[in-house]
Structure 1
Amino acid sequence: MKERHDVVVIGGGQAGLVMSHSLRQHGREHVVLERARVAERWHSERWDSLTFQFPNYDIRLPGYRYGGDDPQGFSNYRDIAQMIEAYAAQIEAPVRCATEVVSLDAECSSGRLLVKTRSTTIEASHVVIATGPFQRPLLPSFAADLPAHVFQVHASAYRNPAQIPEGAVLVVGSGNSGCQIAEELCESGRRVYLALSRHRRVPRRYRGRDITWWFEKMGRWDAKIDDMPGRKQPVPTVLTGTHGGHDMNIRKLAGDGVVVLGRLLHAAGGKLAFAEDVEGILKEADSEYWNFFKAADSLAQEAGLNFPVEHRESAAIIPIVPIASLDLSKSGIRSVIWSTGYRYEYDWLHMPVLDARGAPVQQRGVTCCPNVYFLGLHWMYKFKSAILAYVSEDAAYLADRIAMSR
């Protein structure tokens, strides 16, 4: 006999827990299935010095708000993991830990959904997939072509400089993870090479307010994916909360000794080839940086915000000479850290809700399969859809849809 539930939520991170809270508000019976423990990826896939990218005052979930004595500070990832665990207990979420879902199918005769775990089969009227955007580490195919003696690790498994063998280190990717790891390695005295990817640069603070405050007032968090050409996600914005929060500037890293390279194209025979696009990538990032000040000053003037004026003069830019290739041995590179993102892992999802790349096909979490939903994806509906403090908006929307059903 099958176990039955009205709603099954798959994933016990912040998105799954907020979904649980929203369902409880509507009185809908449900269960949350978590493959390991609550907030597992926060616990096991972060490096030691990582801090949350938002100020403490912006740590909030429905029914919970940061109440510590350092609202302007930035919490270590361990504090965020513990907060999410405490939140699960606070809202009495019906979480089953160590319960991995191995398949999701639709029962042809009844149309009900079948969620299979390693120990049981659950029949559900609705399923919300809240497994998050960070699933399987993405490495380029040519990673396998690097010499066997080169230590390789994805950013999700990096912990600290002591983990990395002696010698120079190549960090691939200049998103949040790549920039912060390259900075940490450089500060530890390591010789660091950084292969760029496209990114946006912004100040950490401006005129007494954090960048996240400005983004909210500018309406950037509410930008919708449907308004983006081809529904294509913009390049990521680089932020860091380390050292109390500071501007992340790759040109400064170069001045500190990091060897900045273009995009890594391929590897063969112990040699690496790079695109000669360093200046193009950095000029794009610089343009975003200075455009932000214009937008912020315009907003302050229009809204009559009496903030102290802050002038930032553009420093002289020293061009970075492109390097087309590197010999791993001659450059002393003995380690590569892949900050190259993630891909979705929905091998267990036996329903036509994925595109050719394996990415969810949905509109604000709603799929073409009745009563199957996604939650907590990057740009699922808005820029803020996957941000901890804002995932509640999409969760409430889905809970309302579920509440209208029998």
Structure 2
Amino acid sequence: MPGIRGKCALRLGVMAAAVILVASACGSGDSDDSGGSSTKARPTAPAPKGTPIVIGSVGHYSGFAGATSKASADAVSAWAQWTNDKGGINGHPVKVVVKDDQADPSKALAAVKSMVEQDKVIALVGSHEAGLEAVWEKYTTGKGIPVVGGSSNSAAYETDPLFFPTAQTAANYVALWANAAKLAGRHQVGAIACAEVPACQSMFSLVKRAAPAVGVTFASGLAVSASAPSYTSQCLSLRAKGVDAVITGTAQEVTTRFISDCAKQGYKPLFVIPGQSYKPDVAKNPAHEGAYLANDSFNWFSDDPAAKEFRDTMSIYSPNSPLNASATAGWAAAVMFGKALATATSAAPTSADVVKGLLARPAEDTLNGMIPPTTYREGKPATVAPCGWYAQIKGGKLTAPHGNKAICLG
């Protein structure tokens, strides 16, 4: 399937020239945000005493997007503590270095150089950048540093052999977002995007191209300002054009106000919200009733064993971090990293060991259902099948109306 490029809502405000969107996930049954309380005790294996394995996570972990995007780094750190409490990786403890780039290109490059040259990281794992991978990609590739997953919506995950996606890539996400409308029985798709940054509106042309591929029509795209006192005129405009599903490319607070203003006019289309910007209080807000979430890795609230293990670990090691698609993307990246080094025999594991382990993963690997079918290829970019998961807010809870497995296009 041809790739289509875009960018997820919270990151739309800080896009690089290649605008990108990410897609994802659905589970089975009804559940609240947490999927239930933890049933897992903290592991108590002897402390690992081998040479530490140092990994890094860089991203926009403060300010506008920080409250939700930092969940990716939190998940990597939780995985590392959980792994160490189980004895580490072949007796090696894992250390995680987290750097906040504040969505600043120069700070992003400086952070990565610091992690590589001073902290001696052997891989970047579960990073949640704001499209800034482009400023340090050449540096990490030149150093032979593998970049393992996290939010995999940079163009580098589709072009660079040392970028190993563990979540849906940009090439597929817009189509998967539009597919949410089709799954809900809607036909006329619209979109809203932040007005403050011109690049935000790039999503309109991307959705327009993606819509026919999944059998829906793109009818309208509107820029909305966070400072606008009302969105009544935009709501009426979308209704006049017959839009029955709206893809949201704005901050969650703006989306909530937009939905409420439309409801006051008796206009209640389906709203599609990116799972990476999800906050636990969203489902509990009556304004979001019926909205769909599109995620780029597994649903955190499902009953699958992998999801339960993720929730249990987060409840022990990072209980205050929001559970969303940012967190699951970080967790999947960390798990993949651990799998890659599981058979390494080096006294001091290296970047080359990580790459070797990743390339040894099976074709169309799903990591026990946590990621879209993904194939890593030596000397070539990875390929990711256009599959995602979907959730819906019903009765103040997250539900999975389309089952627990990833839904693939084509």
TM-score (norm 1): 0.25
Higher RCO by CA contacts (8 Å cutoff, separation 6 or greater): 2
Greater share of residues in helix: 2
